[in-house]
A and B are shown apart, each in its own frame.
Chain A
Amino acid sequence: MPQAAPPAIRTIALIGNPNTGKSTLFSALVGVAQQVGNYPGVTVEKKIGRMQLANTPVDVVDLPGTYSLAPRSPDEMIAVDLLLGRLPGTVRPDAVICVVDASNLERNLFLVSQVLDLQLPTVLALNMTDVAESCGIRIDVRQLSTRVGAPIVELQAHKRIGLDALRSSLEIAMSSPIGERSTPFPPSFQQEVDRLQLQLGDTLPRYLVERVLLDTSGFLSQLPQVEALSGTDQVHAARQRLAEAGSPVPAVEAIARYQWVQQLVEGIVSRDSVQRISWTDRIDRVLTHRVLGLIAFCLMMLIVFQSVFSWSGPLQDLISSGFGRLGGWFSRVLPDGPLQSLIVDGVIGGVGGVLEFLPQIFFLFFFIALLEDVGYMARAAYLMDRLMSRVGLSGKSFIPLLSSFACAVPGIMATRVIENRRDRFVTILVAPLVTCSARLPVYALMTMLFVPDTSFLGGCITLKALTLVGLYFLGIAAAMSVAMILKRTLFRGDTPSFVMELPCYKWPSPRMVLYRMFDRGWAFVRRAGTLILSVSILVWAASYFPHDVSIDQRVRDEYAMALAQAEATGSAEQLEEVQSQVSNEIAQRHLNNSYLASVGRCLEPIVRPLGWDWRIGSAVVASFPAREVVIGTLGVIYSAGVDQDESSASLHEQLRQARWDDSGKPVYTLPVALSIMVFFALCAQCAATLAVIKRETNQWRWAVFAFVYMSTLAYVGAFLTYQIASLLLPTGSG
């Protein structure tokens, strides 16, 4: 006898407009039991969590927030395919929860009307009933439920009120047949759908046949079923007939559905006419004011960045000293050799260098989540849209690019608010050009040492400060120019719409803000962690091997005399100094003998036009995991010791004394320092950023593209800087 298949786990889909508290509800229902991934071939995040319903596990699929189920791109098709059970590898959900914002009922019911057409058991989660009440909106929920023909549960998801009622309502909905639902479309439209359905047979569900007729973007006519029928001509003819019948596509859908909405709310939803001036209006009088709004925006951003840097500073020091101690401990516990070096220099050194930026990343995520939750994010996009449209982007790209001043990782992850794929990709690709904080150590070191102490206006403005400002502007200008070029070449297309809701302001929910901060922060650590680790190990291996052991002995022999002398003096201090000289010398020779140095020497002809010697070349190659690693590598190359930062005196000395192998002239002159800084301003030496680009675009080729174009830009920029600076500045002045 064949065994009965085990009962499949039931699935519930969660859908709703943006800003309705859908994610809050999702996390309230499933807690931390979530799987996050990507749907293949698109950039839509796949979020599935598990909850218990009548003591059986149920999967909840969180669909991306949307105003309408009218797919015009592969990304938007995901939700429709999933709800219709057409998505490969997924089963059709057993029920849908449609989250509805009670304070914005009419527009939310438009999506409800589409969801009901999918013929699935549906429960409406009427969220933010508290906000609606404070706006003076009263809804007769029982009446509304009868008219809609689906159960409605009142919710305050951020306070976890109404969740039990929602669960029991879901249980009932899933076990009872769905009632007869009438279509809101006029008869003339239904006839055309019937006609088209007849020709397509059962290959397409009715909802999609309607969509084929309504979709003016041409996306759905690429469906194989429609193409096979040479269906598009018939679609054109049908639209012609509809226009003549007074139901023109695409307006017919909105008119029909909003008419249905009007009938639903008629007489059962009321609005206080007295309370016309809401809190949102009062706040917006300042925050979106022509002058005050901009001042408030600048102040707010200043506070955000000041807090990000001042709060993360101590934590950053803590992490870096923690990794330092961890490394020290491993050095003592493990015997000298490749394993010790792998763990201390490769894993701890490499990964630690990146993790140092975690506090900044988390604080930025915190502020982004806070601004989103309060409702300010949409206002920031509104204020900045005009500015951004000059380079072909929209206001929605502003916050992601601004965040990139601290770190490109949260910036790139914040691009998810940009619905238009082209705008989103362009923003992702130019965000790493904005000057992030990992570049600062490099800038600080180079300006401190090689930019002269000239000052202007009686000491108010120094040349060093001007150089820094110039580098920031270089980053901005490069990002803007590349955005403009990309929008006119690879990502050319119609200007995407900026039709966007400005949600009501509300008090932030601490639970939600913290949840989002950790959710995104860990997503970064999880996804980028492996890549950062493997790249760090690769770079370590290149700088460690072939590791000729005889080098150690040779150096010790050379220093035997000095050691003996130091020992003879009896001064512990002097002995220690000589010993550290010996170990630095050993480290330097090993590095000079390593594959990394061979790569550097091979690259010398290529980096020579930038004014660099092979040592700088190797250090730049080694900085692939993270830009600031270059300082540590320079420290080793110039045998100043491994633990160098931009303010180490011994590294300063060594850099000043560095000489060309052939001519004996100083390596570091002002043109060389400028060329290094310009290179780091424009290059993509950051494994974390590249990993996040891959994750957000769901394709390696965009990460590769970013690396190639930025490296090219960096090379050309550094080349021009060095050549022009050498012409203008007398040599040897550095």
Chain B
Amino acid sequence: MTTLDRVPIGDSVRIERIDGMDEVSVRLLEMGMTPTTSVTMVGSAPFGDPLEVELRGYRLSLRRSEAQRVIVSSH
């Protein structure tokens, strides 16, 4: 188990849960980051932050600090 911000580019992982109850966590859930969903790390912006991931057939950008709340495991 690790967090989404540590997933290498090109790897796909499975979401286990989202930490926290605040706006950021709710937004991540609303955007489709629910447990068992598969996420692929696509890349990062020029300064290393934010990150770009793919899930449910679309692209999402999120900051590293936000990706830290996403607990993932390898498939």
Contact = CB atoms under 8 A, between A and B. Distances in A.
Real binding pair: yes
B46 A502 contact: no
A216 B22 contact: yes
A257 to B, nearest CB: 9
A254 B58 CA distance: 17
Contacts of A289: 46
A67 interface: yes
Interface in A290-307: 290-291, 293-294
Given A251-B29, A258-B34, A494-B22, A386 B47 contact: yes
Given A106-B32, A382-B50, A385-B50, A499 B24 contact: yes
A240 to B, nearest CB: 13
A386 B65 CA distance: 12
B31 A67 contact: yes
Interface string B29-63: 11111110100000111111110100011111111
B6 interface: no
B61 A498 contact: yes
Contacts of B62: 497-500
**Band of interface residues on B:** 35 or more
A607 interface: no
B9 to A, nearest CB: 11
A22 B31 CA distance: 19
A249 interface: yes
Interface residues of A, number: 47
Contacts of A216: 21-22, 26
Contacts of B27: 67, 497, 499
B47 A501 contact: no
Contacts of A659: none
Contacts of B61: 378, 382, 385, 498-502
Nearest to A111: B30
**Most B C-beta atoms less than 10 A away, residue of A137, A387, A497:** A497
A385 B52 CA distance: 12
B49 A386 contact: yes
Contacts of B7: none
A597 to B, nearest CB: 54
Nearest to B63: A498
Contacts of B37: 258
B23 A107 contact: no
Which has the most chain B C-beta neighbours within 10 Å: A289, A291, A382? A382
B46 A291 contact: yes
Contacts of B68: none
Contacts of B48: 386
A59 interface: no
A485 B28 CA distance: 29
B50 A110 contact: no
A107 B56 contact: yes
B31 A251 contact: no
A504 B58 CA distance: 8
A501 B26 contact: no
A68 B43 CA distance: 26
Contact of B60 (A217, A255, A288, A502): A502
Interface of A: 67-68, 70, 72, 103-107, 110, 137, 216-217, 249-251, 253-255, 258, 271, 280, 288-291, 293-294, 378, 382-383, 385-387, 389, 395, 494-504
26 contacts: A67-B27, A70-B30, A106-B32, A107-B31, A216-B21, A250-B25, A250-B26, A251-B17, A255-B34, A290-B44, A290-B46, A293-B45, A293-B46, A382-B50, A386-B45, A386-B46, A386-B48, A386-B49, A494-B23, A497-B62, A497-B66, A498-B61, A498-B66, A499-B61, A501-B59, A502-B61
Shortest 6 CB-CB contacts between residues of A and residues of B: A254-B29, A386-B47, A502-B59, A497-B24, A106-B56, A68-B30
